């Protein structure tokens, strides 16, 4: 298999938070009724996760599922396994009203690490980032500055931001600017 | 700032996360309709100062179309509801009637 060519070659920035472009993340998009038992069971069999509820995430080892809309979920796995798992799931859902596609190369993923990540995100997205409003286990599809994005928190000091690959450089630019050491507002730590 | 709650994902979305889709509950008149009906469908829109029913799309979010009832004067949002309907639900109409007695909008009052 050929090497995974990252949009920014694994770019890195260290400021209020450490921003890293993550190496190839396997992503499989699933469209269908997320409450349909056939679909829930098939996803559990293939990815080992139970489909999450509204705006929630579910993780099990290196696989996971993100709630995207009432009829869309993003399934995460390792990059190498994505095609096999997608084929597997598609075969299991052949008779269901569902669509499964491997979209691993469509997006760029950035990891934000540091206790200031709420502030870095809040400067870019119209989302309430207070600790009691947005918690690990939630996912939010929104915009960051001028581009569509989604993000979730793995724990109190780690978040992952996903955007389309074509706007990866823009996303890295605005994240870096928002995380510039001299731009601290300290809104959430005051 | 306009905050509208998306009925599909439950997010109280800020205006910049949404896209306005024009007037709600239009009846489409197609090729075999009369000229008057077709003109009305294509061009004639309500432009109220007050209660209005609109289509919105949660474009930077879950991507779903939905309906919203709001006041164009005060930006108060009376409620949002599913796109899969041809008329506003009763509970939203009751809310509006209580807050804006005597309102009319097309054939709704």
Q: What is the mean pLDDT of chain B?
A: 95
pLDDT value for A189: 81
Nearest residue in A to B65, CA atom: A69
The domain locations on chain B are 3-99
Q: What is the ipTM of this complex?
A: 0.88
* Domain boundaries for CATH 3.30.70.1520 within chain A: 25-102
A178 pLDDT exceeds 60? yes
CATH code for residues B3-99: 3.30.2270.10
Task: Answer whether B7 touches A (CB < 8 Å).
Answer: no
Residue A105 main-chain phi, psi, to 5 deg: -95, 5
Would the pLDDT of B93 be above 80? yes
Q: Which CATH architecture has domain A12-23+106-182?
A: 2-Layer Sandwich (3.30)
| CB contact residues (below 8 A), chain A span 96-155, against chain B | 126, 140-143, 148
Domain A25-102 classification at class level: alpha beta
CA distance B109 to B101: 9
Residue A1's pLDDT is: 57
Which residues of chain A are in CATH 3.30.1360.120 domains?
Answer: 12-23+106-182
Task: Dump pLDDT digits (tens) for A85-135.
Answer: 999 999 999 999 999 999 999 999 999 999 999 999 999 999 999 999 999
**Do A70 and B9 make contact, defined as CB atoms within 8 angstroms?**
yes
CB contact under 8 A, B10 and A143: no
Q: What is the pLDDT of residue B64?
A: 96
Q: How far apart are CA A29 and CA A104, in angstroms?
A: 9
- Per-residue pLDDT, averaged over B7-28, amounts to 95
Residue A128 token pair: 């309430």
Q: Do residues A17 and A112 touch, judged by C-beta distance below 8 A?
A: yes
């Amino acid at each position: 298999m050929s090497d995974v060519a990252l949009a920014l070659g694994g770019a890195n920035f260290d400021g209020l938070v450490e921003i890293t472009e993550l190496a190839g993340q396997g992503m499989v998009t699933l469209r269908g009724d997320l409450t349909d038992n056939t679909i829930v069971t098939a996803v559990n069999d293939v990815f080992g996760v139970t489909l999450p509820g509204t705006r929630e995430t579910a993780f099990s080892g290196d696989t996971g599922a993100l709630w995207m809309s009432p009829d869309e979920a993003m399934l995460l796995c390792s990059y190498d396994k994505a095609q096999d798992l997608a084929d597997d799931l598609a075969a299991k859902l052949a008779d269901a009203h569902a669509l499964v596609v491997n979209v691993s190369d469509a997006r760029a993923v950035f990891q934000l690490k540091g206790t200031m990540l709420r502030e870095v995100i809040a400067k870019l997205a119209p989302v309430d980032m207070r600790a009691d409003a947005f918690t690990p286990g939630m996912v939010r599809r929104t915009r960051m500055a001028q581009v569509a994005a989604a993000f979730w928190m793995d724990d109190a000091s780690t978040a992952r931001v996903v955007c389309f690959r074509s706007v990866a450089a823009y996303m890295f630019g605005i994240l870096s600017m928002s995380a510039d050491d001299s731009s601290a507002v300290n809104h959430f730590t005051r | 700032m306009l905050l509208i709650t998306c009925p599909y994902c439950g997010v109280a979305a800020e205006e910049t996360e949404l896209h306005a889709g024009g007037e709600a509950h239009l009846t489409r008149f197609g090729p075999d309709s009369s000229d008057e009906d077709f003109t009305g469908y294509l061009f004639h829109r309500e432009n109220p100062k007050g209660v209005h029913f609109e289509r919105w799309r949660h474009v930077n979010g879950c991507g779903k179309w939905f309906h919203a009832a709001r006041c164009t004067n005060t930006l108060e949002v009376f409620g949002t509801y599913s796109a899969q309907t041809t008329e506003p639900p009763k509970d939203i109409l009751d809310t509006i009637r209580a807050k804006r007695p005597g309102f009319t909008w097309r054939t709704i009052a």
